[in-house]
Amino acid sequence: MTRVDILNTIDAWANDVDGPNLFWLRGHPGTGESTIATTVRDHLERTGRLGSSFFRREDFKVQRPEALWCSLVYNMAQNYPSIRHMLVNQVKAHHIDPDASDHESIVEQLLVAVLGVSLQMKPNKLPVVVIDALDECGGTAVDVCVSVILENWALREIA
């Protein structure tokens, strides 16, 4: 497949409301996944569909599952008023512990709630999240992130 073919496939996937809600682009290092992910992110941002993106390689501190989930939730709240409103209400009602630092608490308190709100949005407005370089988070961090993604996000199937 060419780069254009891959971009067309991803675009068709992102607009298929009945399709799987996870698209996993994998490849060997240096084969262009990051370039494709950047192009997809930019296109989704222009069309108002970008929920969040995570491209963190250079800073070791952000190469942890907690950083990924917090970044995702923060960006979703910035981009979607309904998610922002829900999070503010959850904090006011003391349902979210702002001092939580372990990935289980963050996923349970933040990510699952955000996913619940996002699934109530109009199908043509559903946010798309682009995550790049997950494999560079290292060892068990990758396993934790993949597990959380599959358990909480991949509600239908993997494409």
Task: Give 130's DSSP letter.
Answer: E
Beta bridge partners of 158: 22
Tokens found for residue 32: 């262009």
The pLDDT, as a whole number, for residue 156 is 42
Beta bridge partners of 71: none
**How many residues in total does the chain contain?**
159
Q: What is the pLDDT along the chain (159 residues), one digit of tens a residue?
A: 888 998 999 888 888 877 766 677 777 878 888 899 899 889 988 888 888 888 765 665 666 677 777 788 888 888 888 888 888 888 888 877 767 766 667 667 777 777 777 767 777 777 888 888 776 665 565 666 667 666 665 554 333
The pLDDT, as a whole number, for residue 128 is 83
**93-125 burial: b if 16+ Cβ within 10 Å, else e:** eeebeeebeebeebbebbbebbbebbeeeeeee
Task: Please report which helix (H) or strand (E) contains residue 53, including its range.
Answer: strand 50-55
| Residue 58, phi then psi, degrees to nearest 5 | -75, -25
Tokens 């308190």 correspond to: 109
Question: What is the Cα–Cα distance from 77 to 119, expressed in whole angstroms?
Answer: 14
Q: Is 127 helix (H, G, I), strand (E, B) or coil?
A: coil
The pLDDT, as a whole number, for residue 157 is 38
Cβ contacts of 1 within 8 Å, gap of 6 or more: 9
The pLDDT, as a whole number, for residue 97 is 75
pTM of the model: 0.73
Tokens found for residue 19: 């399709």
Question: What is the Cα–Cα distance from 154 to 76, expressed in whole angstroms?
Answer: 17
